[in-house]
Amino acid sequence: FEQLRRILRRKKRRRKPVPYELIPPSLARMLCADWWCRKLWQMRCEWREEQLRAVCLVNKKASPYVSYEAVIHKREQRRKSLEFFRSHELINEDGDTLDMEDVVNASNSNPAHRRNEMMACVKGLELIAEMRGDCAVFYTITCPSRFHATLNNGRPNPKWTSATVRQSSDYLVDTFAAFRKAMHKTGLRWYGVRVAEPHHDGTVHWHLLCFMRKKDRRSITALLRKFAIREDREELGTNTGPRFKSELINPRKGTPTSYIAKYISKNIDGRGLAKEISKETGRPLRDSAEHVSAWASLHRVQQFRFFGIPGRQAYRELRLLAGQAARVQGERKAGAPVLDNPRLDAVLAAADAGCFATYIMKQGGVLVPRKHHLVRTAYELNDEPSAYGDHGIRIYGIWSPIAEGKICTHAMKWKKVRKAVDVQEAAADQGACAPWTRGNNCPPVENPNKSGGGIPDIKTMDEKELQEYLHNMGQKERRELTARLRLVKPKRKKAYMQSISDQQRLQLEAELSSRGFEGSASEIDLLLRGGSIPSGAGLRIYYRNQRLQEDDKWRQWY
């Protein structure tokens, strides 16, 4: 314990006291083989991805943003998660059950819900900026060239210093922290949203939509440019565009929400971007959403971050509380107060209406410290300890400094259980298979000495008679039949090819291009004739039922 205390004391930039109560659970984790297995597997996946980046297999010429093997692994993870959700349900003390898949789809884990919430939040910031008379500026910050593994043409970057994707993300985080500290010292303030997304080789870059006073725009832009280009300044020369870009949003061209909408959508599910083509990779943005999601999950990059506004978790808890109150008080009048305090009830009503602008203003407004927010999220310790002996924290509800006590939004305790499986349905799905015995595993009785008269006409036999005849043939008869079959010259048949329309051919070509193939006519003809194309990791792509499919059934032949 003394040695651990010294190590924790030497940690840089520590502002809070050392959490000595976390030392026993930490030691328990270090003694757990499963914990080490998970950590080693995580390190293995990250290191393997960096090796693929080093050999130029992660770029717009091969697989953009992340390797194709990582995308396949992410698909398998989603498939296993979906199977887990479908096989479990939630049950409470009263015996009420909820399907776990429905609960997950109704939560913020649903990409559509997450996208809608962020778009509503950005729209609220836009309305507040119009009310305050603030201007909106769109910034783009990129890492120096030493973080990029490949060039724009897909070839190795000679300036790359073996920096990982995680290190490029940490560089931007540290740069932004230093800039924020300098900005606060000068008395400048801003609020907005930050989006982290990958270059074609996986290196992180940031897009920021920031709102600020018009008089502070030039000062903030100059200060941010100073911190964005201060490292490896000599490689830029007079052109700082590759590292830093700023654009004042003109309301005549578009609103701030329309500027950031594309970046939010293409980093979640690609909704509404089916016809948009990426300028960097040349591929549809909707097809790139899967690669971006796998990239963020593998490298643990936080894609979205709002700053300068009240927390969104309190917004979710207020909406949950409003829904619970509506179910309990079903006959109450529309607009009737839910909370006794009128200020708290105004915040709840704004959250229930889904108006982020009103919610932020009722909470105290933008650029207000968290300690001055009217409603905050309340947390509590878990009742049961974890496998390592520590009690984690969970959300209890909401609380306010102007009201006594807390309001619980998670009063009902739910437990995860496996669904009951019907034996008859399970047997019908799996099929009945008789066990092998010495009775059904023995070959049928052969009679090689059986002799017949003339040669029967095979063409006039039905299928059952033909099978019985071939099964009872002797060795001599088999040789005679084989000799007769060899004398027959096979007819040349035209190669089989599936017939598809021009639109389906274009769709197939686009889908092949999104998977990293050329989408040439030879590849398409090969797929239409029933062939397959290797896609990596022992998998092959084939075209069946008018869509691309992927399987590993050819693994034994390749």
| Nearest by Cα to 137 from 16, 36, 35, 218 | 218
558/285: higher pLDDT: 285
pLDDT band at 484 (very low <50, low <70, confident <90, very high): confident
pLDDT digits (tens, 9 = 90+) for 513-545: 777 777 677 777 777 777 777 766 567 777 777
pLDDT of residue 329: 76
Same domain? 352 vs 465: no
**pLDDT over 90 (residue 80):** yes
Same domain? 425 vs 525: no
Listed residues 383, 402, 430: the one ending a domain: 430
Listed residues 259, 289, 307: the one ending a domain: 307
List Cα–Cα distances, 312 to 31, 206, 401, 521, in angstroms.
37, 21, 18, 50
pLDDT band at 558 (very low <50, low <70, confident <90, very high): very low
CATH number at residue 292: 3.30.70
pLDDT band at 334 (very low <50, low <70, confident <90, very high): low
In-domain check, residue 206: yes
What tokens does 271 get?
Answer: 């909704």
In-domain check, residue 383: yes
Q: What residue ranges in 174-270 does DSSP mark as E strands?
A: 191-198, 204-212, 244-248
Q: Measure the CA–CA gap between 353 and 349, rounded to whole angstroms.
A: 6
Q: Measure the CA–CA gap between 221 and 14, rounded to whole angstroms.
A: 30
pLDDT band at 490 (very low <50, low <70, confident <90, very high): low
Give me the mean pLDDT over the 148-174 stretch.
93
In-domain check, residue 33: no
In-domain check, residue 492: no
- Contact indicator for 117, 108 with CB cutoff of 8 Å: yes
Edge to edge, the sheet with strand 532-536 lists 532-536, 539-544, 547-551
What tokens does 68 get?
Answer: 């194709």
Per the prediction, the chain carries an average pLDDT of 84
485/414: higher pLDDT: 414
Give me the mean pLDDT over the 101-121 stretch.
93
pLDDT of residue 90: 94
Least confident of 134-143, 187-196, 546-555: 546-555
What tokens does 378 get?
Answer: 């309340």
**pLDDT over 50 (residue 450):** no
pLDDT digits (tens, 9 = 90+) for 254-286: 899 999 999 999 999 888 887 888 888 888 888
pLDDT of residue 554: 45
Same domain? 386 vs 410: yes
pLDDT of residue 537: 58
- Under DSSP, is residue 399 helix (H, G, I), strand (E, B) or coil? strand
In-domain check, residue 232: yes
Same domain? 192 vs 219: yes
pLDDT of residue 46: 94
- Contact indicator for 136, 260 with CB cutoff of 8 Å: no
Same domain? 160 vs 177: yes
Q: Measure the CA–CA gap between 56 and 156, rounded to whole angstroms.
A: 7
In-domain check, residue 144: yes
Percent of the chain exceeding pLDDT 70 equals 84
pLDDT of residue 178: 95
Q: Measure the CA–CA gap between 413 and 380, rounded to whole angstroms.
A: 14
**pLDDT over 50 (residue 195):** yes
Same domain? 425 vs 440: no
Same domain? 546 vs 441: no
pLDDT of residue 555: 43
| Nearest by Cα to 192 from 305, 87, 270 | 305
Give me the mean pLDDT over the 286-295 stretch.
90
Helices and strands, number each (H, E), in the chain: 18, 14
In-domain check, residue 177: yes
Least confident of 65-79, 321-335, 427-441, 503-517: 427-441
pLDDT digits (tens, 9 = 90+) for 406-416: 999 998 889 99
What pTM value is reported for the model?
0.72
Same domain? 302 vs 216: yes
In-domain check, residue 394: yes
Q: Measure the CA–CA gap between 408 and 395, rounded to whole angstroms.
A: 9
φ, ψ of residue 382 in degrees (nearest 5): -65, 150
What tokens does 352 get?
Answer: 């229930």
Same domain? 418 vs 521: no
Q: How far is C-alpha 542 from the geometric centre of its chain's CA atoms?
A: 25
Same domain? 408 vs 454: no
**pLDDT over 70 (residue 333):** no
DSSP structural state of residue 216: G
pLDDT of residue 372: 92
Give me the mean pLDDT over the 92-112 stretch.
91
Q: Which residues are catalytic?
A: 259, 263
When computed from its CA atoms, the radius of gyration of the chain, rounded to whole angstroms, is: 32
Same domain? 204 vs 248: yes
Give me the mean pLDDT over the 405-426 stretch.
80
H, E, C per residue of 291-322: HHHHHHHHHCCCCEEEECCCCHHHHHHHHHHH
**pLDDT over 70 (residue 492):** no
pLDDT digits (tens, 9 = 90+) for 231-254: 999 998 888 999 999 999 998 888
Number of domains composing the chain: 4
Give me the mean pLDDT over the 196-207 stretch.
95
pLDDT of residue 510: 76
Quote the domain boundaries for residue 515: 502-551
- The H-assigned helical ranges of 242-284 are 256-266
Same domain? 353 vs 408: yes
pLDDT band at 443 (very low <50, low <70, confident <90, very high): low
**pLDDT over 90 (residue 43):** yes
- Contact indicator for 375, 398 with CB cutoff of 8 Å: yes
- Hey, what long-range contacts does 236-243 have (CB within 8 A, 24 or more apart)? 242/142, 243/141, 243/142, 243/144
pLDDT digits (tens, 9 = 90+) for 340-399: 889 999 999 999 999 999 999 999 999 999 999 999 999 999 888 889 998 889 999 999
pLDDT of residue 3: 62
